[in-house]
Amino acid sequence: MSLRKRLLWTLGITLTLLWGVTAVWLLRDLHRQIEHTLDQRLAQSARMVAGLVSQLPAEVWQQAEPHRLSIPPIEGLACQVNSPSGEIIAQTHTDLGGVLTPRQPGHSYRTVEGVKWRVFTYQRNSLTITTADRVDERNILLNDVLMVAIIPFLFALIGSLAALWLGILRGLRPLSRLKQALAQRHPEVLSPIEVPDLPSELRPLVATLNALLSRVQQAFVREQRFTNDAAHELRTPLTAIKTHLQVASRQHGEASRFALAQAEKGVSRLQGTLEQLLMLARLENGLDDSWQANCLARSAALEALLMLGEDAQATFSITWPSETFYLPVPHELVVMALRNLLENARRFSPDPGSVHVSFSQSGSGLTIEIKDQGPGVDDRDLPKLAERFWRHGTGHGSGLGLAIVSAIAERFSGRLSFAHNAPQGLVAQLWFPIVEETRQWSDRPDVTWGVPIAPHQ
Amino acid sequence: MHVLLIEDDDLVASGIQAGLESHDFVVDQASTFVEARMAMASVSSDVAILDLGLPDGDGMGLLKEWRSSGVITPILILTARDAVCDRVAGLQGGADDYLLKPFDLDELVARLHALIRRAAGRARPLVEHGPLCFDPLAREVTVAGHHVPLQRREVTLLEAFLQSPRTILTVDHLKDQLYGLSEDVESNALNVHIFHLRRKLGKGIIETVRGLGFRLGSPDSVELRRNTVGTDG
């Protein structure tokens, strides 16, 4: 059921019921009051007649007895006076003997010849006065009064229902506009929803929806770009492999061997890219349990340096930390992150001693800073460094190395940031929180350098 | 046939270069936007292969720049971008063909030949000049049905003349066709090749236009030199 229908039904039925109950109550009350008033009038008339008759000298009605006094009739009212002996002394209607025969004092109903009467019998000074009203005449009066009361009532009820209907229709119009705007959209369109003149209640809803849509769109664009880039990165080495293999099959001797060697280079590049893509996917979709361990910053850095090979060592000048720091990150991942950063720095700044690596405690974490003296990047490229498949110039590599470092940092509440180095080059800063009990651990005499130790095992 | 290969990935480029050279193409490689622009301006290529993702700019921009400045060299886009919209954008941006990576070497060669053929206004794959018939794909020359063995460079040179039968080709253009930009050419190497062609196909096959260059001779000038058939090669 639509909101409008529900509102209309609920409010309409409630309003009608309330007004109906009030009306019934009012009418019953009115009916009782009128009845009461008319009964009082009947009694009052009887008393008045009694008063008049008792003031007459006894002879008057004794003489009149055989002739019966006639009382001019009051409209809608019959009256009869009986003497103590039961004789009728006076009456308004001669034909209403049956109705006006005295009974017990007080009010009663009497039906004579199919006509219902309201009768009042009153005794005073041995005289009995009976007055009577036609009930149907009373009802006519009652109906008239009720009609006067009920017509404005009905009018008010219908008016309120109409006002209710109009109000709900108008009040919910922004909602139906929004509904229309949403219904007309293509399901794949991610542009913001635009509905003019929205009430303040709906504005936050639409704003939230639009913000969500724009985020989805951005994610969609990013995803698409990633897919395109991944396709490019995978197809390029594949193309190299295929082409070189085809050349190798057509050539002989040295040329064929050269082509095969080139194809093999392509294979190892493809393998590298695939492994890095898998690593990224694994970082994003949870990790193996075997990785849940802390690592010693210094031993991870040492291992990363060793992995770069002996030739690479000369490039780096390192300021080792004076304290021992444990990072809440698996050892293998810190090694990988540092290796990628060091490899990258060395690629652009290979001279001996030109890359400076330092460790410093900042806040509740450890910052590992790698400063190179390579060409650096432009301001506008600085934020792109950790983007997937972004490469600097014609630089080689898969373009995933720094993206992996960034993913590792993100996964373990760390940070990767870049800045310009003066006078030239790039500064990469990798920050990780440190395990709180680091100081205690450093006091332990059995901690040895170069061996990854997980304190919780 | 001279091919300008614009490809930033050295491994892919070396593969394509080796593959095309095995099909008697002369290949010059440019790996950046800037290099490609310079190469297109300085060497006369019969066809260009363009990779869209260049490190210092988008290949599409280069394509549009060339087309708007009147470069009519046929251009084949060779890319890993496989979306239909990319292909449409490439072809509408002025490319003559679109091939996806990874590709088959034979297909690339066939497409390049088709592009060159269409650029020369020919519909048939074989080039005929009087009794002479040249198959660009098979690299075979026959005169009146007899196979004439020619050296690789000689075929390339003959192909350049057959490609523009009524045009005077300058020495520089012919050198580009034969060696590209990379090789250091001896000054009389071109004359040696022309001498051999004349010896094998008749004196009039190539005319010297004094002070300007060379031109393909009339179809009547093609002769079948009995002494060369099946002996040289």
CB contact, 8 Å: B102 with chain A? yes
Q: What is the largest CA-CA distance in chain B?
A: 57
- Residue A10 covered by a domain: yes
Q: Is A295 in the same domain as A280?
A: no
**What pLDDT, on a 0 to 100 scale, did the predictor assign at position A244?**
94
**Residue stretches of chain A with pLDDT short of 70:** 58, 61-76, 286-292, 393-397, 437-457
Three-state DSSP string of A327-390: ECCCHHHHHHHHHHHHHHHHHHCCCCCCEEEEEEEECCEEEEEEECCCCCCCHHHHHHCCCCCC
- Residue A84 covered by a domain: yes
Cα separation of B88 and B92, whole Å? 6
Q: Is A218 in the same domain as A241?
A: yes
Provide the residue type at A34 as one letter.
I
CB contact, 8 Å: B104 with chain A? yes
Q: Is A13 in the same domain as A78?
A: yes
Query: What range does the domain containing A81 cover?
Result: 3-161
pLDDT in tens, A381-398: 888 888 887 777 655 667
Smallest CA–CA separation between B174 and chain A, in Å?
27
Paired residues of A43 in beta bridges: none
Three-state DSSP string of B15-36: HHHHHHHCCCCEEEEECCHHHH
Cα separation of B158 and B136, whole Å? 11
Q: Do B80 and A231 touch (CB under 8 A)?
A: yes
- Residue A362 covered by a domain: yes
Contacts of A307 (CB under 8 A, 6+ apart): A335, A339
User: Of A98, A128, A161, at which residue does a domain stop?
Assistant: A161
Q: Do B18 and A393 touch (CB under 8 A)?
A: no
What Rg do the C-alpha atoms of chain A give, in angstroms? 53
- Residue A448 covered by a domain: no
Cα separation of B208 and B191, whole Å? 11
Q: Is A61 in the same domain as A144?
A: yes
Contacts of A237 in chain B (CB under 8 A): 11
Q: Do B22 and A250 touch (CB under 8 A)?
A: yes
Could you tell me which of B138, B99, B129, B103 has the C-alpha nearest to residue B215? B129
Provide the residue type at A20 as one letter.
G
Q: Is A269 in the same domain as A300?
A: no
- Residue A116 covered by a domain: yes
Question: What whole-number percentage of chain B has pLDDT above 70?
Answer: 94
- Residue A185 covered by a domain: no
- Beta strand pairing call for B47-50 and B2-6: parallel
Cβ(B26)–Cβ(B141) below 8 Å: no
Cβ(B164)–Cβ(B120) below 8 Å: yes
CATH code for the domain of A326: 3.30.565.10
What is the per-residue burial (b if ≥16 Cβ within 10 Å, else e) of A308-329? beeebeebbebeeeeebbbbbb
- Residue A174 covered by a domain: no
Domain annotation for chain B: domains and CATH numbers? 2-119 (3.40.50.2300), 127-228 (1.10.10.10)
Q: Do A239 and B105 touch (CB under 8 A)?
A: no
Q: Do A262 and B15 touch (CB under 8 A)?
A: yes
- For B214, the 3-state DSSP assignment is strand
**What pLDDT, on a 0 to 100 scale, did the predictor assign at position B190?**
86
Residue of A247, A264, A392 to mutate when probing chain B, most B C-beta within 10 A = A247
Cα separation of A139 and B205, whole Å? 133
A·B CB contacts under 8 A:
77
**What pLDDT, on a 0 to 100 scale, did the predictor assign at position A445?**
41
Could you tell me which of B147, B140, B138, B128 has the C-alpha nearest to residue B229? B147
CB contact, 8 Å: A237 with chain B? yes
pLDDT in tens, B31-46: 888 999 999 998 888 9
- Residue A377 covered by a domain: yes
CA-based nearest residue in chain B for residue A260: B15
Is there a cis peptide before residue A423, judged by omega within 30 degrees of 0?
A: yes
Q: Do B101 and A239 touch (CB under 8 A)?
A: yes
Cα separation of B33 and B91, whole Å? 19
CB contact, 8 Å: A236 with chain B? yes
Smallest CA–CA separation between B10 and chain A, in Å?
9
Q: Is A112 in the same domain as A260?
A: no
Q: Between B32, B56, B81, which is nearest A228 by CB? A: B81
What is the per-residue burial (b if ≥16 Cβ within 10 Å, else e) of A38-56? bbebbbebbeebbeebeee
ipTM of the complex model: 0.76
Cα separation of A418 and B214, whole Å? 60
Q: Do A243 and B105 touch (CB under 8 A)?
A: yes
Please state the length of chain A. 457
Contacts of B191 (CB under 8 A, 6+ apart): none
Structural tokens at position B174: 């012919």
Cα separation of B196 and A42, whole Å? 150
CATH code for the domain of A222: 1.10.287.130
Q: Is A309 in the same domain as A423?
A: yes
User: Of A254, A284, A314, at which residue does a domain stop?
Assistant: A284
User: Of A102, A131, A161, at which residue does a domain stop?
Assistant: A161
Could you tell me which of A337, A332, A306 has the C-alpha nearest to residue A409? A337
- For B135, the 3-state DSSP assignment is strand
Could you tell me which of B29, B23, B22 has the C-alpha nearest to residue B6? B29
CB contact, 8 Å: B81 with chain A? yes
Cα separation of B157 and B143, whole Å? 17
pLDDT in tens, B92-126: 999 999 999 999 999 999 999 999 988 888 878 88
**What pLDDT, on a 0 to 100 scale, did the predictor assign at position A137?**
85
Quick count: other Cβ atoms within 10 Å of Cβ A292? 12
Q: Is A424 in the same domain as A338?
A: yes
Cβ(B52)–Cβ(B75) below 8 Å: no
Three-state DSSP string of chain A: CCHHHHHHHHHHHHHHHHHHHHHHHHHHHHHHHHHHHHHHHHHHHHHHHHHHHHHCCHHHHHHHHHHCEECCCECCEEEEEECCCCCEEEECCHHHHHHHCCCCCEEEEEEECCEEEEEEEEEECCEEEEEEEEHHHHHHHHHHHHHHHHHHHHHHHHHHHHHHHHHHHHHCHHHHHHHHHHHCCCCCCCCCCCCCCCCCCCHHHHHHHHHHHHHHHHHHHHHHHHHHHHHHHHHHHHHHHHHHHHHHHHCCHHHHHHHHHHHHHHHHHHHHHHHHHHHHHHHHCCCCHHHCCCEEHHHHHHHHHHHCCHHHHCCEEEECCCCCCEECCCHHHHHHHHHHHHHHHHHHCCCCCCEEEEEEEECCEEEEEEECCCCCCCHHHHHHCCCCCCCCCCCCCCCCHHHHHHHHHHHCCCEEEEEECCCCCEEEEEEEECCCCHHHHHHCCCCCCCCCCCCCC
pLDDT in tens, B55-96: 788 889 999 999 999 999 999 999 888 888 889 999 999 999
Cα separation of A4 and A174, whole Å? 12
Q: Is A7 in the same domain as A114?
A: yes
In chain A, the number of structural domains is 3
CATH code for the domain of A149: 3.30.450
- Beta strand pairing call for A316-319 and A295-296: unpaired
Contacts of B80 in chain A (CB under 8 A): 231-232, 235-236, 239
Contacts of B170 (CB under 8 A, 6+ apart): B212, B213
Cβ(A325)–Cβ(A366) below 8 Å: yes
Cα separation of B54 and B37, whole Å? 12
Could you tell me which of A294, A362, A291 has the C-alpha nearest to residue A328? A294
Contacts of A391 in chain B (CB under 8 A): 55
Cα separation of A63 and A90, whole Å? 12
Q: Is A323 in the same domain as A352?
A: yes
Q: Is A97 in the same domain as A128?
A: yes
- Round the average pLDDT of chain B to a whole number and report it: 87
Q: Between B18, B31, B32, which is nearest A247 by CB? A: B18
Cα separation of A131 and A82, whole Å? 11
Residue of B33, B79, B101, B103 to mutate when probing chain A, most A C-beta within 10 A = B101
How far is residue B51 CA from its own chain's centroid? 18
Q: Between the CA atoms of A389, A392, A394 and A400, what dihedral angle is there, to the nearest 10 degrees?
A: -30
Q: Is A332 in the same domain as A247?
A: no
